């Protein structure tokens, strides 16, 4: 709903009540850095019949209203229900905070007082911020509801590649592997190694690994001239134990 400040003209708005489905999540709290919004909590109260009001009353972008999720929501879209148009607002600007980084996901039109879905690359959303762009002054504009869609995380098996050993000396060698995909959940990994292809020894587990992790371990006290076979063993929450192919190296005097 919009309200003129200068002419004191109130425009009657028909409200539509809606209750969120289980997959649409509302924020836990909010912030209003410029203190230009009122009744902010109404924008995440599971109802389209209440509203938060932007009192910026200025040309160009109004103030941001931030909506905060205490636990990040894995999502690829959100929906907003807000005032729009009437020769007063020509676009709305929406940002999400994903993995701690702000991303501009929409700077354009939305439907007036009706849900508009905005899509983006899937990831954990911890905060959303929203503002109107004004082409006329003298009005307050309202946002009725903003909701983030919670998308189920599909966990697949992780993948990794074993690398050639380095720092090879008479009694040592450095093992390397790259985690090429975590499959959607944290990975734990360790090296298996031994004097034969049957291996038989393991390093300690390294936990909390994600895509792109570099996994390294320095083997010490090796026998000079004794070939060492090794591979990486790893798994995520799928609990399927996965192993790379086996490589080898031979400690030698450098």
At a CB cut-off of 8 Å and minimum separation 6, what does 114 contact? 16, 81
pTM of the model: 0.63
- Give the number of domains in the chain: 2
Residues 157-185 have a mean pLDDT of: 96
Question: 26-50 in b/e burial notation, b at 16+ Cβ within 10 A?
Answer: bbeebeeeeebbeebebbbbebbeb
Q: Which residue has the higher pLDDT, 3 or 46?
A: 46
Residue 95 and residue 122 share a domain: yes
Mean residue pLDDT across the chain: 91
Residues 32-45 have a mean pLDDT of: 98
Residue 214 and residue 185 share a domain: yes
Q: Which residue has the higher pLDDT, 234 or 155?
A: 234
State percent of the chain over pLDDT 90.
86
Residues 56-64 have a mean pLDDT of: 98
Q: Which residue has the higher pLDDT, 21 or 252?
A: 252
pLDDT at 153: 82
Residue pair 242/233 in contact by the 8 Å Cβ criterion = yes
Torsion, Cα 197 201 203 207, to 10 degrees, reads: 80
SS3 111: coil
Residue 107 and residue 35 share a domain: yes
Residue 225 pLDDT > 90, yes or no? yes
Per-residue pLDDT band at 1 (split at 50, 70, 90)? low
Residue 169 and residue 51 share a domain: no
Query: What is the domain extent for residue 101?
Result: 17-149
Residue 15 pLDDT > 50, yes or no? no
Residue pair 55/16 in contact by the 8 Å Cβ criterion = no
User: How does pLDDT run across 116-159, given as a tens digit for each residue?
Assistant: 999 999 989 999 999 999 999 999 999 999 999 999 888 899 99
> Minimal CA–CA distance to 96: which of 70, 64, 130, 144?
130
Residues 215-223 have a mean pLDDT of: 97
- CATH code for the domain of 216: 2.60.40.10
Residue 95 and residue 172 share a domain: no
| Phi, psi dihedral angles at 40 (to 5 degrees) | -60, -40
Euclidean distance between CA atoms 63 and 37, whole angstroms: 8
> For the chain, first and last CA: distance in Å?
78
pLDDT at 22: 52
Per the structure block, which two tokens stand in for 44? 């995440």
State percent of the chain over pLDDT 70.
91
Residue 56 and residue 178 share a domain: no
Which of 93, 119, 149 lies at the terminal end of a domain, its last residue? 149
Residue 182 and residue 84 share a domain: no
């Amino acid at each position: 709903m919009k309200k003129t400040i200068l002419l004191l003209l109130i425009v009657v708005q028909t409200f539509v009540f809606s209750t969120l489905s289980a997959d649409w999540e509302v924020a836990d709290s909010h912030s209003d850095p410029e203190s230009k919004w009122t009744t902010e909590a109404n924008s995440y109260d599971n109802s389209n019949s209440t509203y938060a009001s932007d009192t910026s009353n200025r040309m160009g972008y109004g103030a941001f209203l931030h909506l905060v999720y205490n636990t990040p929501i894995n999502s690829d879209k959100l929906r907003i229900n807000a005032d729009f148009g009437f020769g007063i607002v020509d676009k709305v600007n929406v940002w999400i905070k994903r993995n701690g980084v702000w991303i501009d996901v929409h700077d354009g039109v939305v439907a007036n007082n009706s849900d508009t879905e905005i899509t983006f690359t899937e990831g954990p959303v911890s905060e959303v911020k929203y503002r109107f762009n004004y082409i006329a002054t003298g009005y307050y504009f309202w946002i009725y509801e903003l909701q983030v869609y919670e998308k189920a995380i599909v966990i697949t098996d992780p993948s990794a590649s074993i690398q050639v050993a380095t720092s090879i000396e008479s009694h040592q060698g450095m093992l390397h592997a790259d985690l090429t995909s975590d499959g959607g959940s944290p990975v734990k990994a360790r090296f298996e190694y031994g004097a034969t292809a049957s291996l038989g020894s393991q390093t300690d587990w390294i936990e909390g690994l994600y895509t792109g992790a570099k996994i390294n371990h320095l083997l010490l006290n090796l026998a000079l001239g004794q070939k060492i076979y090794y591979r990486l063993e790893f798994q995520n929450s799928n609990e399927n134990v996965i192993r790379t192919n086996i490589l080898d190296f031979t400690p030698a005097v450098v």
